[in-house]
């Protein structure tokens, strides 16, 4: 290549001025002849890559809230890229105990249409919102909205950067600009195995989450739900319960305080293995800070402890549900409800409970077991014997109004109206009162009274929390750009006051008990009008001096009825017809025990 200049060249000044004008005109602003820093776009970025690295600029922003111009890029640099890191210091006293290492990263690219697009994300302690937004101007200027920094630093790594000083613009958002996209998701793993999105963390279906000591759902406290390892992974004590799971219960202003159901586990109860495991369920009231007694207990051996009432079947929607254990099943009369038996045996081998017809009601008198009736009239079918400690079969009979108290084993008459009588003249038949029956019929004498009123419990003096003001959710600040329109309002908890409530006075308690007491009195009064009379089996008879083999024959005793023992060979036909039974043994107290014969 020939030299540009040579000795004796006539137009040297003209050529030098031509070169100077080219340098001055650009657009490439080549390296100045006097030395200095090269600036401006590069002619062929496909072949020459220049980047700015290391610290950019830093300014004390004095907690200014607003938009800052932080960089400018060449919109003609198609395919150019840039990474901007915005960091700085917050006001330390406001975040005592938190990290001050907060960084916002902006990723940019100049597309073929001459428009710069990008995304951004922030990292740090997650407690602050120091960068509120990122905008990209049509001229390649990058703006950030900073709200909490006291010192702002900008670092740039790019092959399309124009040097640009940090400049505060105020609260008005820049015009002719568009938002950089806040990073929507961070994927971890090639599948990806985990994706973090706003408000959600998604794990691949085949993923495993290991390591967390506690997983919380919801704001800590109140109605929060959680899963945790026993005692936070610290050493455990034998036979001591540690919380492992909580299910939140939402609070309802004026109606219910928030709280949780808590599951706790323990180990080491008389065994090194699963036989020593135990699990317990309790309720926790956040307002009073108190725990309920255990609601449910499960052991590693399969034992289930249910201290309260058990209800199987549809949940009761009635506030006045009866305080008892219930098993319900939606079925028709004679439909199967319950089977009880050994493992592996036929379902009907031990006990089966079928649905009744629903046509019978509980008797008013107290019993241990009540069995309903089918449409067939049947209540109990037994494949084997029915064994009872009693020795006679008896039936209830009403007493005539004039009949007095009848003692067990007393010979009694039956009048023409079918009622018991203790008067000889009114009796047409005779019997003996039952002492120890194994079965009693005619037990419907109290049905006229209906169902007994529900039992009541006396209300004692207590303190109740009443709502003063409802809870208020937090309200976020409202900005127009970075201009604060409405300040943030913190959440407020519901306010309650403790109000003492008086329990039942003696008069009120008496009034609440009155229906049940009146029923009991009416039942007892009606009970005095009936008695149980033996119709079969063995029964003691209040006759002294008898010997086995004799018959007990009713005799008149004044106006009343007594009995006497007569030898079989001495009986007349009338006496045999009236006899109430044959003596088979003598009781320890000298009374005769007879096999009942209904006269």
Asked if the model's pLDDT at residue 226 lies above 80, the reply is yes
Phi–psi pair at 359, nearest 5 degrees: -100, -5
Asked if the model's pLDDT at residue 171 lies above 60, the reply is yes
* Residue 166 or 136, more confident: 136
pLDDT of residue 572: 94
pLDDT of residue 566: 96
Across 124-135, average pLDDT: 69
Joined together, the tokens standing for residue 319 give 């506030």
**DSSP for 383-423?**
SS----S--EEEEEEEBPTT-----TT-EEEEETTS-EE--
pLDDT of residue 97: 53
- Looking up tokens 């009195």, which residue turns up? 521
- Structure confidence by residue, pLDDT tens digits, 172-219: 878 888 888 877 566 665 555 667 665 667 776 667 777 677 777 766
Question: Which of 149-163, 354-368, 457-471, 552-566: highest mean pLDDT?
Answer: 552-566
Find residue 532's DSSP bridge partners: 396
* Residue 495 or 537, more confident: 537
Q: Which helix (H) or strand (E) holds 574?
A: helix 573-578
Question: Which of 90-99, 230-239, 322-331: highest mean pLDDT?
Answer: 230-239
- Structure confidence by residue, pLDDT tens digits, 423-458: 999 999 999 999 999 999 998 888 888 877 877 888
- Structure confidence by residue, pLDDT tens digits, 481-526: 666 778 888 888 778 788 888 989 999 999 999 998 999 899 999 9
Q: Please give the DSSP secondary-structure letter assigned to residue 475.
A: B
Across 221-228, average pLDDT: 75
pLDDT of residue 6: 73
Residue % of the chain over a pLDDT of 90: 27
pLDDT of residue 435: 94
pLDDT of residue 94: 47
pLDDT of residue 43: 43
pLDDT of residue 366: 62
What does pLDDT average to over the chain? 79
CA–CA gap between residue 522 and residue 529 (Å, rounded): 11
CA–CA gap between residue 555 and residue 549 (Å, rounded): 19
| Range from 65-69, 76-80, 109-113, 403-407 carrying the lowest mean pLDDT | 65-69
- Structure confidence by residue, pLDDT tens digits, 236-254: 888 899 999 888 888 887 7
* Residue 557 or 289, more confident: 557
| Range from 87-91, 387-391, 474-478 carrying the lowest mean pLDDT | 87-91
Question: Which of 57-66, 155-164, 346-355, 364-373: highest mean pLDDT?
Answer: 155-164
CA–CA gap between residue 257 and residue 251 (Å, rounded): 5
List of domains in the chain: 55-179 (2.60.40), 214-308 (no CATH), 392-445+529-596 (2.40.300), 447-467+496-520 (no CATH)
pLDDT of residue 55: 43
Question: Which of 10-24, 116-130, 259-273, 340-354: highest mean pLDDT?
Answer: 259-273
Asked if the model's pLDDT at residue 533 lies above 50, the reply is yes
| Range from 55-69, 276-290, 302-316, 347-361 carrying the lowest mean pLDDT | 55-69
pLDDT of residue 368: 63
pTM of the predicted model, to two decimals?
A: 0.49
Across 329-355, average pLDDT: 74
CA–CA gap between residue 587 and residue 211 (Å, rounded): 79
Asked if the model's pLDDT at residue 265 lies above 90, the reply is yes
CA–CA gap between residue 240 and residue 198 (Å, rounded): 40
pLDDT of residue 205: 67
Residue % of the chain over a pLDDT of 70: 77
Q: How many CB atoms lie within 10 A of CB 272?
A: 9
| Range from 11-15, 162-166, 500-504 carrying the lowest mean pLDDT | 162-166
Asked if the model's pLDDT at residue 40 lies above 70, the reply is no
CA–CA gap between residue 148 and residue 89 (Å, rounded): 9
Contact 285, 251 (CB under 8 A): no
Closest-CA residue to 432 (of 310, 300, 579): 579
**DSSP for 211-268?**
--SEEEESSSSTT-EEEE-GGGGS---TT--EEEEEEEE--BTTTB--EEEEEEEE--
* Residue 109 or 22, more confident: 109
């Amino acid at each position: 290549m020939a030299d540009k200049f040579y000795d004796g060249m006539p137009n040297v000044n003209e050529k030098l001025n031509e070169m100077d004008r080219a340098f001055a005109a650009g657009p490439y602003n080549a390296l100045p002849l006097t030395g200095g820093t090269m600036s401006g776009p590069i002619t062929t970025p496909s072949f020459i890559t220049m980047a700015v690295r290391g610290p950019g600029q830093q300014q004390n922003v004095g907690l200014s809230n607003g938009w800052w111009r932080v960089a400018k890029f060449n919109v003609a640099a198609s395919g150019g890229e840039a990474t901007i890191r915005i960091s700085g210091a917050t006001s330390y006293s406001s975040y005592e105990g938190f990290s001050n290492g907060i960084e916002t990263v902006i990723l940019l690219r100049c597309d073929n249409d001459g428009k710069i697009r990008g995304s951004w994300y922030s990292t740090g302690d997650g407690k602050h919102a120091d960068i509120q937004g990122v905008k990209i101007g049509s001229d390649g200027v990058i703006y950030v909205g900073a709200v909490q920094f006291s010192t702002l630093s900008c670092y740039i790594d790019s092959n399309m950067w124009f040097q640009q000083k940090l400049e505060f613009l105020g609260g008005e958002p820049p015009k002719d600009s568009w938002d950089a996209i806040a990073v929507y998701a961070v994927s971890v793993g090639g599948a990806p195995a985990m994706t973090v999105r706003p408000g959600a963390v998604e794990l691949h279906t085949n993923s495993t989450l290991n390591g967390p000591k506690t997983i919380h759902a919801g704001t800590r406290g109140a109605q929060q739900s959680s899963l945790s390892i026993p005692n936070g992974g610290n050493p455990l004590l034998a036979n001591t319960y540690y919380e492992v799971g909580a299910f939140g219960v939402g609070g309802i202003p004026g109606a219910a305080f928030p709280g949780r159901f808590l599951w706790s586990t323990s180990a080491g109860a008389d065994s090194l293995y699963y036989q020593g495991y135990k699990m317990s369920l309790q309720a926790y009231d956040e307002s009073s800070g108190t725990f309920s007694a255990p609601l449910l207990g499960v052991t590693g051996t399969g034992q289930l402890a249910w201290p309260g009432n058990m209800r199987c079947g549809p949940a009761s929607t009635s506030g006045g549900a009866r305080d008892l254990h219930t098993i319900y099943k939606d079925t028709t009369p004679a439909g199967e409800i319950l089977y009880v038996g050994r493992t592996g045996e036929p379902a009907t081998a031990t006990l089966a409970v079928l649905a009744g017809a629903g046509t019978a009601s509980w008797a008013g008198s107290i019993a241990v077991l009540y069995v309903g009736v089918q449409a067939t009239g049947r209540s109990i079918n037994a494949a084997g014997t029915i064994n009872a400690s009693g020795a006679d079969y008896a039936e209830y009979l009403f007493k005539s109004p004039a009949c007095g108290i009848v003692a067990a084993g007393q010979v009694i008459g039956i009048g023409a109206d079918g009622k018991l009588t203790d008067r000889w003249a009114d009796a047409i038949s005779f019997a003996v009162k039952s002492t120890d029956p194994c079965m009693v019929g005619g037990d419907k004498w109290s049905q006229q009274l209906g169902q007994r009123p529900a039992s009541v419990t006396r209300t004692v003096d207590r303190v109740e929390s009443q709502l003063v003001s409802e809870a208020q959710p937090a309200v976020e600040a409202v900005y127009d750009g970075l201009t604060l329109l409405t300040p943030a309002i913190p959440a407020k908890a519901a306010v309650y006051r403790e109000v003492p409530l008086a329990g039942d006075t003696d008069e009120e308690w008496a009034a609440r008990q009155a229906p049940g007491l009146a029923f009991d009195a009416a039942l007892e009064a009606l009970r005095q009008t009936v008695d149980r009379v033996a119709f079969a089996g063995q029964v003691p008879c209040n006759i002294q001096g008898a010997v086995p083999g004799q018959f007990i024959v009713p005799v008149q005793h004044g106006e009343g009825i007594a009995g006497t023992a007569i030898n079989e060979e001495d009986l007349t036909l009338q006496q045999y017809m009236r006899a109430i039974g044959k003596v088979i043994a003598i009781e320890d107290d000298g009374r005769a025990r007879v096999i009942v014969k209904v006269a």
